[in-house]
């Protein structure tokens, strides 16, 4: 199996203009490749290549994939917001019609990768794509790193934590936030950042070792953007890999065309999310 995280440039002003980043994990959780792609067709072709002659591909796209609402927010976003987890505010109106992610799903389907709201853990042979939320994943991993993921004051701890802020701001603040995110990834059990076929060259078109980069204010904003893509792509790949392994806890909030998102979640967080889903009448698994 291959596990592909896609940090999609999906926001208005980004789609079809900025590059997206793809990060690939093997079954052991080792990063074996990463690359940058410009459009949906390129992304789908790259995903197809990564999964060639493998026993399935599980893709996590860090972008809203199902957007049924004309305006406002999706129900799954409201669930996440109640627990102080970062959530995309997506509506069809903000895209002026069809979201870029729908174009990507169409191209992935041509490549044999189908949209799902629930990838099956431990099952090989599936080639599916699911929505993930890298910012929420990073916040959950930071919480687990502090040893607070199963505490009763979970909601308070989440509210007290800052959301990731490496996409905007001056270069100093972006670089500091990225260094913090990379440190969390480095300390995440089940994820192996450093492998022999990656190099510390942010200008390379593929196979960049994010753990070896000297992330600082001396980087250009474009280089920081590429680093953000690598971090978000790694978080997306980790999310689907963790779910597939079935050991450390995960949950799917929402279902079908109404929108769903796969998140890492151990006992206490899973229980709180399930409670909010039950109150709001939102399916979860």
Q: How many domains does the chain have?
A: 1
Domain that holds residue 75: 2-280
User: What are 153's two structure tokens?
Assistant: 């004051």
User: What are 119's two structure tokens?
Assistant: 């990838």
Averages of pLDDT over runs of 10 residues in the chain (285 residues) are 97 87 97 96 97 93 95 94 90 89 97 95 95 97 81 79 90 97 96 89 96 96 97 98 95 94 95 96 96
User: What are 76's two structure tokens?
Assistant: 């799954």
22 DSSP β-pair partners: 6, 35
Q: What is the pLDDT of residue 189?
A: 94
Q: How far apart are CA 72 and CA 125, in angstroms?
A: 37
- Residue 231 falls within a domain, yes or no? yes
What DSSP character marks residue 284? B
- Residue 285 falls within a domain, yes or no? no
Whether the model pTM is above 0.85: yes
Q: How far apart are CA 87 and CA 74, in angstroms?
A: 10
- Residue 108 falls within a domain, yes or no? yes
With the CA atoms of 105, 111, 117 and 118 taken in that order, what torsion angle do they form, in degrees rounded to the nearest 10? -160
- Residue 26 falls within a domain, yes or no? yes
- Of 96, 83, 171, 179, nearest to 133 by C-alpha is 83
What DSSP character marks residue 258? G
- Residue 149 falls within a domain, yes or no? yes
Q: How far apart are CA 160 and CA 170, in angstroms?
A: 23
- Residue 126 falls within a domain, yes or no? yes
Q: What is the pLDDT of residue 151?
A: 60
Q: Is 74 helix (H, G, I), strand (E, B) or coil?
A: coil
């Amino acid at each position: 199996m291959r596990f592909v995280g896609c940090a999609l440039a999906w926001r208005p002003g980004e789609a079809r203009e900025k590059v997206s980043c793809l990060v690939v994990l093997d079954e052991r959780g080792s990063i074996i490749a990463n690359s940058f792609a410009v459009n949906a067709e390129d992304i789908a072709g790259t995903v197809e290549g990564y999964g060639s002659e493998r026993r399935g591909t599980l893709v996590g796209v860090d972008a809203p994939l199902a957007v049924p609402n004309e305006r406002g927010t999706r129900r799954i976003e409201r669930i996440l917001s109640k627990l102080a987890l970062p959530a995309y505010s997506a509506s069809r109106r903000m895209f002026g019609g069809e979201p870029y992610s729908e174009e990507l799903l169409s191209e992935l389907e041509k490549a044999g990768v189908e949209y799902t709201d629930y990838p099956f853990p431990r099952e090989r042979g599936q080639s599916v794509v699911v929505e993930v939320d890298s910012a929420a994943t990073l916040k959950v991993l930071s919480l687990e790193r502090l040893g607070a993921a199963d505490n009763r004051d979970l909601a308070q701890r989440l509210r007290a934590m800052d959301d990731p802020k490496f996409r905007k701001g001056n270069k100093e603040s972006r670089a500091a936030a990225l260094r913090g995110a990379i440190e969390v990834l480095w300390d995440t059990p089940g994820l192996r950042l450093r492998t022999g076929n990656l190099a510390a060259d942010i200008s390379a078109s593929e196979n960049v070792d994010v753990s070896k980069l000297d992330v600082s204010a001396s980087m250009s904003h474009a280089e920081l953007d590429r680093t953000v893509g690598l971090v978000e792509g790694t978080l997306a790949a980790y999310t689907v890999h963790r779910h597939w392994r079935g050991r450390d806890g995960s949950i799917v909030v929402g279902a079908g065309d109404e929108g769903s998102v796969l998140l890492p979640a151990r006992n206490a967080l899973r229980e709180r999310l399930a409670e909010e889903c039950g109150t709001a009448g939102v399916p979860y698994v």
